[in-house]
Amino acid sequence: MNRVFSEFVSLLKFSLPAVSLVVTLCVSASVVRAADAPKAAKADPAKGEAIYTNGDAARNIPACVSCHGAAGNSTIVQNPRLAAQHDQYIVKELQNFKSGSRNNAIMTPIAKALTDAEMANIAAWLDKQAPKPGAARNKETIDLGKQIYRGGIAEKNVPACAGCHSPNGAGIPAQFPRLAGQHQDYTVSQLTNFRSGARKNSPQMMTISKRLSDDEIKAVADYVAGLK
């Protein structure tokens, strides 16, 4: 953690108010996640793989693989890649879908049908899967995306994404999700939803997204897709 923090500090090239903002947001996020995180259950990845691959027809739970791809490597750009995503983050999001604090017409009923143990099992299996690399597509915006991700936007008090999601996009387990290799379209949609208030389960991301333009969102989403 000390190494990650040191890298974070070295990346910060914006004004003191922005530094204050990102520290506040990260600390607040840690407190919120710690308070909201469900109690850890002993997970069984093999059982998680079974549900992910086959679903449970008797309970109207579809196979996760149909939307999120083999081993969590979605090929549908609107659906997130979940391979190597931190297990506690996946559980948190499933719990949010179940409680209604995050709304999605497809995921909400699925999450409501899953038990806490099943969520933990699926998450534990996905955490262990090898992610397939993505790639940035727009050479014209790569520098802008890199600047936002690694240095933020000082004049708009936008902190560096790397401060919470790590310089290589690996995230911080149990606190901030992995972003490396994520589909551009999915990242754009989530940042846009945070900005509009359609997605409300991360106060810090709502605050940051409201300060980003459409072009800035697209640029950073494209840069993230190429991280490994």
Residue 100 lies in a domain: yes
In DSSP terms, 4 is beta-bridged to none
For residue 151, give the CATH number of its domain: 1.10.760.10
Is residue 53 predicted with pLDDT exceeding 50? yes
Mean pLDDT, the chain, rounded, equals 88
Q: What is the pLDDT of residues 2-15, one digit of tens each?
A: 444 444 444 434 43
Indicate the residue among 69, 92, 127 that finishes a domain: 127
DSSP line for 61-88: B--THHHH-GGG---STTS---TT--HH
Indicate the residue among 92, 127, 162 that finishes a domain: 127
Is the alpha carbon torsion for 113, 115, 116, 117 positive or negative?
Answer: negative
pTM of the full structure: 0.83
pLDDT band at 39 (very low <50, low <70, confident <90, very high): low
Indicate the residue among 96, 127, 158 that finishes a domain: 127
Tell me, what amino acid is at 127? D
In DSSP terms, 153 is beta-bridged to 158
Closest CA to 113 of 131, 94, 127: 94
Tell me, what amino acid is at 194? F
Please tell me the predicted confidence (pLDDT) of residue 200. Answer: 97
> Domain range for residue 83?
45-127
Please tell me the predicted confidence (pLDDT) of residue 7. Answer: 47
Residue 40 lies in a domain: no
The mean per-residue pLDDT over the stretch 140-147 comes to 98
Please tell me the predicted confidence (pLDDT) of residue 174. Answer: 85
